[in-house]
Amino acid sequence: MSASHLNWPPRTANSPLAVLASGGIDSAILLGEALRAYPAVYPLYIRTGAAWEAVEFQHFQRFLRAVAAPNLLPVVELAMPVTDLYGTHWSITGENVPGAASPDAAVELPGRNVILLSKALLWCHLNGVTQLATAPLGSNPFPDATPEFYDGLAAIVGRAVNAPPVKVLRPYAEANLNKADVVKRGTGMPLQFTFSCIRPRVGVHCGACNKCGERRRGFTEAGVDDPTEYAL
């Protein structure tokens, strides 16, 4: 399926949607697209204790203010700390962060989707929300980003609360979209307020980490002007 034939967002929707969003390019654009179709959209932001979260959340709040609409509900902040689990991992300490030329595998956060989705799915069950959207790309190489993982975890959580599983929507992965494809879909959105960096400097993108490199390439390959402020 190509980006031009992506069936997202649906033409009509009559139920609320939760969007697991960090404020990065992909999840922010997913949220912006959801606002065009759903009667109520809940942004879910989950804090894990990552080194970049304070700056990331500031940017996310700016993005939410910029796309404010009657159907955009207040951001839901949840906590799922992993500092005791990850220890001295670079994502916690901010030290020895993978650089811009490093491969995707260098930024794997072990079991990250187990951590994020389990909390998000339970929140959906407790609040009567039957669909949860998330924004992995078609190129995501990690084992906790497969259709089998998402559907399997949703089924397990559903069994845990004796309820039908929440449907996990992954439109960008299912259409095999890459970063440039998604950037194009965000044309007209306030992408200057999205945040992708894993080593922020003075409140802005460092410009030299793995995620900044991916971000730059996404805008370049999409042929879209990059509005990002980089330290380098």
| CATH code of 197's domain | 3.40.50.620
Residue 232 lies in a domain: no
**Mean pLDDT, all residues of the chain:** 95
Work out the number of other CB atoms within 10 angstroms of the CB of residue 196: 26
Residue (of 110, 108, 114) closest to 152 by Cα position:
114
Give alpha helix (H) positions in the chain.
25-34, 53-66, 83-86, 90-93, 112-126, 147-160, 171-174, 179-185, 210-222
Residue 56 lies in a domain: yes
Strand pairing report for 167-169 and 41-47: unpaired
Residue 231 lies in a domain: no
> Span 132-160, mean pLDDT?
93
Q: How far apart are CA 118 and CA 124, in angstroms?
A: 10
Residue 4 lies in a domain: no
- Residue 1 binned pLDDT confidence (cut-offs 50, 70, 90): very low
Residue (of 116, 110, 126) closest to 160 by Cα position:
126
Residue 71 lies in a domain: yes
Paired tokens of 167: 């449907």
Residue 5 lies in a domain: no
79 versus 7: the higher-pLDDT residue is: 79
Residue 227 lies in a domain: no
35-83 residue pLDDT tens:
999 999 999 999 999 999 999 999 999 999 999 999 999 999 999 999 9
Range of the domain at 190: 13-222
Single-letter residue type at 78: L
Cβ-contact 155, 193 below 8 angstroms: no
> Span 104-132, mean pLDDT?
96
Residue 93 lies in a domain: yes
Q: How far apart are CA 57 and CA 161, in angstroms?
A: 30
The structural domain count of the chain equals: 1
